[in-house]
Structure formats: structure tokens, C-alpha cells
């Protein structure tokens, strides 16, 4: 049987690990800027990739509440790390985005919008939790009434190479949130790492095209079985979980639970959790002007509900205490988000647990409220 040049969509193929370089080249030829896992400052971050040599091959990490350590592994696996502090949010919802500038010309103004900085990004190594986080933000920024133009443009022209997780960190709890560890939709290619090869599911025609001349072969039942085992083992490694069935009602019923005071005594209101969270979307706008007031600009920047003037109205802040801010964050994620967007605002990536300087674990906080709260 003569092999086709590219696999059909929905096919699963295997290819030697080194052939990933060819996929990179195919994507680059198609005009994509590759971004994915890279080593920086002793952590796995998301940065620009030129070749597969930029990947953190052979590195893993150890995560626990308030702690992240990079670890050299002895298996040489390419994708054995778990998500670090960065998420794909920084490309879709940039930390700083110029909105427009204004020049005064006598009595009239001239408003100038910056050239779009949206690029054709190929996201390499998107984990299932993070893919679901993108779906969550889609509901916010591509709504029927108003759209965020940058987000929408960026989203329309991006490529996703998802990576199914072969390890779970101690902070992970995607299995209980039903957002992982396997990417089930919304990818162009989804990769599972086997000891000797990559198994790739083809999710789109662009994904199929990226496999041209890579030496791919259709996956056998044996390969598929091995990939399924990888995912089962990842799921078994997960130590944390969160019960979600009655979450919104549980938290709404317990807005005055003493646990909020307890967690407020530990929380520093530092906003780390909102910055690393792949779904947190709050922004504010910075205004600038020249000394004469003849030119001015506006820049949208990430904001956080932990910042003291986030809720400022004349006469004071709506949420002046850490208790009120932590409660706002958690009830938004796990209760009101559902009312607003029809999904929970948490995908179980565990970043807020790892990157909390005092190691506050939201799964623990919810469990404590569930145990002792009003039912």
C-alpha cells in the first residue's frame, strides 16, 4: 500500500522523536512563530523556539505548595516537565497592550491605534489544563456582545501542538476538574511521549500538513495502548483533587464562613495566584501624557483583584481587607464564574498552589469549607 504524504485528520501516527524538528521547520515555513517550553532562570518558561534544541529535554520539576525546583531527569524525556509559572495567556492577553494614542491638534484630536502586534503563533507543548484555560478565556473575550480584538485575532491565527502529560506534579489536579491530563479537542496536533517515539493525534488539516515528510507511520494498537498507559499513570500520580458538583452553591452558602478569616491570616494579597492563573483575566488601563498635555496614550495592563485599589470608588475601596479579596478571588473562580460564563474558572493546573509564597492551596480551602460549612 502506497503511503499517503500526510495523514488524515483524526488519525494517530508515530514518529521518531528527532522528527519533531521537521514539524518545527514545516510550521516555520508556513509562517508560524514557534513559542513553547524553554529553560530560563532555573525554571521552565514559555519562550520563542527556533529548533528542538531549545526544548528543556531531560528536565523535569518538583512542585509543592510555595515551591518550584527544576530537576535533571535520567530518562532524557522531552516533555517530562509540568507547567511552570508562565501560561499561554501572556500571548493571547498580553501583560501590556497599547490601546491607542491621542494627539491634540488645536481643538481636535487625532486618535491613532497601534499596528496589530498579533502574530501567527504556534504554541508548542500546550497541556490539557492550559488548552481548557484557553477555552475558558474564549468565552470571555469572544462573546456575542463584545470582543477583544487582539485576543480574537491572535486566537484565529494560532496553531496548537498539545502535549498530553506523562507526569503530574504534586500541585496538579486536572483529573478531578475533568480538564486533563489528555487533550481531547481544540488542538492541531496532540503529542504523547513514549519511551522511543512520539505518538501524535491529528486534530486539523493544518496539523496534518505539519506532518509532511516527517517519516510518520500510522500508530498501531500497541502504540495506542502504550500512550493510554502513560496517561493512566499520570492520572494515578495526581495527589490533589477538588469536588466540583456543588461548588457554586457551597461557596455562595458560606460567604461568611470563619475559614475566610483563617486563610486571610496567611494570604499576603500579593496577586501571584492571579498572575500565574491561566484564566484570570482582569485588566486595568494606564494613562500617560506628555508634559504639555498635547499627546496622550492608553495601555491595557494585567490587574488583580488582590490589588488594594482594584475596587476603588470615590469614598474608598469596596474590598479593603485581605479576607474580602481572597473571598472575591475564590468565589469568582469557583462560583460566580459558572454564572457568568457557564464553566468554572479553574482548570486544575495547580499554578496558584505552587507559586503562592505562603503555599495556600485552594483545594484545601474548599475542602475545609465543605467539611464545616453550611450545607
CA atoms within 13 A on the CB side of 123: 26
The distance of closest approach from Cβ of residue 308 to other proteins in the complex, given in angstroms and rounded to an integer, is: 12
| Residue 328 lies near other proteins (rule: CB under 8 A) | yes
The distance of closest approach from Cβ of residue 269 to other proteins in the complex, given in angstroms and rounded to an integer, is: 13
| Residue 148 lies near other proteins (rule: CB under 8 A) | yes
In the region spanning residues 87 to 116, those forming contacts with other proteins, defined by CB under 8 A, are: 99-100, 102-104, 107-113, 115
Q: What binding mask, one character per residue, do residues 248-277 give for other proteins by CB under 8 A, x or -?
A: ----x--x----------------------
Q: What binding mask, one character per residue, do residues 331-350 give for other proteins by CB under 8 A, x or -?
A: xx--xx--xx----------
Cβ contacts of 54 within 8 Å, gap of 6 or more: 36, 38, 47
Q: Which of 53, 287, 342, 371 binds other proteins (CB under 8 A)?
A: 287
Distance, CA of 306 to CA of 74 (rounded, Å): 41
| Residue 371 lies near other proteins (rule: CB under 8 A) | no
Task: Give the nearer residue to other proteins in terms of CB position, either 142 or 368.
Answer: 142
285 grid coordinates = 488601563
| Residue 312 lies near other proteins (rule: CB under 8 A) | yes
| Residue 300 lies near other proteins (rule: CB under 8 A) | yes
Distance, CA of 301 to CA of 279 (rounded, Å): 15
| Residue 351 lies near other proteins (rule: CB under 8 A) | no
Residue spans of alpha helices (H) in the chain: 20-29, 89-92, 128-141, 149-156, 174-177, 205-209, 221-237, 247-253, 259-266, 272-276, 322-331, 337-341, 351-354, 362-372
Residue 110 neighbours by CB distance under 10 Å:
10
CA atoms within 13 A on the CB side of 102: 15
Q: Which of 25, 138, 303, 364 binds other proteins (CB under 8 A)?
A: 303
Task: Give the nearer residue to other proteins in terms of CB position, either 41 or 106.
Answer: 106
The distance of closest approach from Cβ of residue 115 to other proteins in the complex, given in angstroms and rounded to an integer, is: 6
Q: How many residues bind other proteins (CB under 8 A)?
A: 56
309 grid coordinates = 485599589
| Residue 146 lies near other proteins (rule: CB under 8 A) | yes
Distance, CA of 265 to CA of 279 (rounded, Å): 25
Backbone angles phi, psi at 345, to 5 degrees: -90, 10
Q: CA nearest 166: which of 145, 131, 133, 190? A: 190
Stretch that binds other proteins, among 120-128, 222-230, 311-319, 362-370 (CB under 8 A): 311-319
| Residue 117 lies near other proteins (rule: CB under 8 A) | no
Task: Give the nearer residue to other proteins in terms of CB position, either 103 or 120.
Answer: 103
What sign does the dihedral 316-317-321-322 (CA atoms) show? Answer: negative
Distance, CA of 201 to CA of 184 (rounded, Å): 10
153: burial class by Cβ within 10 Å (0-12, 13-18, 19+)?
middle
Stretch that binds other proteins, among 57-65, 70-78, 280-288, 362-370 (CB under 8 A): 280-288
Task: Give the nearer residue to other proteins in terms of CB position, either 137 or 354.
Answer: 137
The distance of closest approach from Cβ of residue 280 to other proteins in the complex, given in angstroms and rounded to an integer, is: 8
Distance, CA of 356 to CA of 364 (rounded, Å): 13
Task: Give the nearer residue to other proteins in terms of CB position, either 122 or 335.
Answer: 335
Name the residues that contact other proteins, by CB under 8 A: 99-100, 102-104, 107-113, 115, 140-141, 143, 145-149, 252, 255, 281-285, 287-289, 293, 296, 298, 300, 303, 305, 310-314, 318-321, 323-324, 327-328, 331-332, 335-336, 339-340
Amino acid at each position: 500500500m502506497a503511503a499517503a504524504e500526510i495523514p488524515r485528520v483524526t488519525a494517530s501516527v508515530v514518529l521518531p522523536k528527532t522528527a519533531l524538528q521537521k514539524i518545527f521547520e514545516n510550521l516555520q515555513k508556513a509562517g508560524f512563530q514557534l513559542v513553547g517550553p524553554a529553560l530560563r532562570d532555573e525554571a521552565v518558561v514559555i519562550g520563542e523556539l527556533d529548533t528542538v534544541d531549545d526544548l528543556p529535554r531531560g528536565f523535569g520539576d518538583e512542585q509543592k505548595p510555595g515551591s518550584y525546583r527544576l530537576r535533571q531527569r535520567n530518562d532524557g524525556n522531552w516533555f517530562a516537565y509540568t507547567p511552570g509559572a508562565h501560561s499561554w495567556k501572556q500571548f493571547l492577553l498580553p501583560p501590556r497592550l497599547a490601546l491607542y494614542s491621542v494627539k491634540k491638534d488645536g481643538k481636535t484630536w487625532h486618535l491613532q491605534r497601534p499596528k496589530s502586534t498579533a502574530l501567527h503563533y504556534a504554541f508548542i507543548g500546550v497541556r490539557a489544563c492550559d488548552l481548557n484555560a484557553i477555552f475558558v478565556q474564549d468565552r470571555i473575550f469572544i462573546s456575542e456582545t463584545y470582543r477583544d480584538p487582539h485576543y480574537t485575532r491572535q486566537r484565529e491565527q494560532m496553531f496548537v501542538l498539545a502535549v498530553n502529560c506523562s507526569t503530574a506534579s504534586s500541585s496538579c489536579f486536572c483529573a478531578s476538574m475533568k480538564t486533563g491530563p489528555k487533550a481531547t479537542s481544540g488542538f492541531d496536533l496532540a503529542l504523547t511521549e513514549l519511551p522511543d517515539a512520539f505518538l501524535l493525534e491529528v486534530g486539523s488539516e493544518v496539523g496534518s500538513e505539519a506532518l509532511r515528510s516527517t517519516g510518520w507511520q500510522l500508530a498501531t494498537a500497541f502504540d495506542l495502548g502504550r500512550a493510554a498507559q502513560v496517561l493512566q499513570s499520570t492520572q494515578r500520580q495526581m495527589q490533589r483533587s477538588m469536588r466540583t458538583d456543588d461548588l457554586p452553591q457551597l461557596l455562595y452558602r458560606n460567604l461568611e464562613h470563619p475559614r475566610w478569616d483563617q486563610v486571610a491570616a496567611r494570604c499576603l494579597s500579593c496577586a501571584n495566584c492571579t498572575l500565574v492563573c491561566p484564566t484570570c483575566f482582569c485588566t486595568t488601563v494606564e494613562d500617560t501624557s506628555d508634559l504639555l498635555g498635547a499627546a496622550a496614550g492608553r495601555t491595557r495592563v494585567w490587574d488583580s483583584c488582590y490589588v488594594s485599589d482594584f475596587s476603588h470608588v470615590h469614598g474608598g475601596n469596596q474590598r479593603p481587607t485581605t479576607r474580602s479579596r481572597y473571598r472575591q478571588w475564590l468565589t469568582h473562580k469557583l462560583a460566580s464564574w459558572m454564572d457568568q460564563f457557564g464553566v468554572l474558572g479553574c482548570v486544575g493546573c495547580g499554578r496558584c498552589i505552587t507559586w503562592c509564597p505562603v503555599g495556600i492551596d485552594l483545594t484545601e480551602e474548599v475542602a475545609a469549607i465543605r467539611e464545616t460549612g453550611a450545607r
